[in-house]
Copies of this chain bind each other. A is one copy, B any other.
Amino acid sequence: MEETPESTPRKRISESTIHRLSLYFRALSLLEKENYETVSSKELAKREKLTPAQVRKDLSFFGSFGTRGLGYPVTELKARVSRILGIDRVWRVALIGIGNIGSALVSYKEFIKQGFHIVKLFDNDQRKIGSNHKGIIVSDIKNLKTELHEDNIEMVVIAVPATVAQYIVDDVVEANIKAILNFAPINLKVPPDVHVRNENMAMELEYLSFAMVNNHMPKGAGKN
């Protein structure tokens, strides 16, 4: 008898495909609100400034959804995309660093809307530790490892200065966290099984300055 491998190797999914799935999810949520029952690849493409061929290719990649002539069923496709993205559930998120960016993220509505619940806050500033931000008491960073573990945190958002980010991430990794969103302007070193995404808002402005000085034609409305 032949052995089946535990996990079959899957085709590598590109970063841009994942981002487009996020865009489809948003477009489908809106279509649902507007009471659409079905949507064509053409309409989805138009809303997200992509080509219909791209939309069909992306969606077929995750299994067959559409019916020729009828299009995709909106609610079903939305549910499917949300399952693929892993946002059909709630994620327990800790935020480290309650500075300018950190404070803004505590009340960032897009996180909660997509199921990312910030349930823990950490800082090293004695004036902040123990204070209440949107119903969460700020914990002392020195208890980071224990509390991440005890509170079953699954994702961490880093919003600390670049100078201390690596030091903090080392603790986060030791606490067995596998997903990190990093706002510190530094390339963090993590083991190969830990996912890190870097967010640097200046890079979006650089895209705009590039476009302006090179007279680059906008591709519709840019990133989304």
Which residues of A pack against B, CB within 8 Å? 7, 10, 13, 15-16, 18-19, 21-22, 25-26, 47-49, 84-87, 91, 93, 100-101, 103-105, 107-108, 110-111, 113-116, 154-155, 157, 178-181, 185, 187-190, 192-219, 221-224
Residues of B close to A205: CB separation below 8 A: 91, 93, 111, 114, 116, 155, 157, 181, 197
Supply 26 A–B pairs (Cβ within 8 Å), ascending by A.
Answer: A15-B223, A18-B206, A19-B207, A21-B210, A22-B200, A85-B206, A86-B206, A91-B205, A101-B104, A104-B104, A105-B201, A108-B202, A110-B185, A111-B201, A111-B205, A155-B205, A155-B209, A179-B211, A181-B204, A187-B224, A192-B218, A193-B218, A195-B208, A195-B218, A196-B218, A196-B221
- Return A29 CB to nearest CB of chain B, in Å: 10
Structural contact, B210 and A194, CB atoms closer than 8 A:
no
Please tell me how many copies of the chain the complex holds.
2
Find the B residue at minimum CB distance from A110. Answer: B202
- Return A213 CB to nearest CB of chain B, in Å: 4
Structural contact, A100 and B111, CB atoms closer than 8 A:
no
Q: DSSP majority for the A interface?
A: mixed
Find the B residue at minimum CB distance from A200. Answer: B110
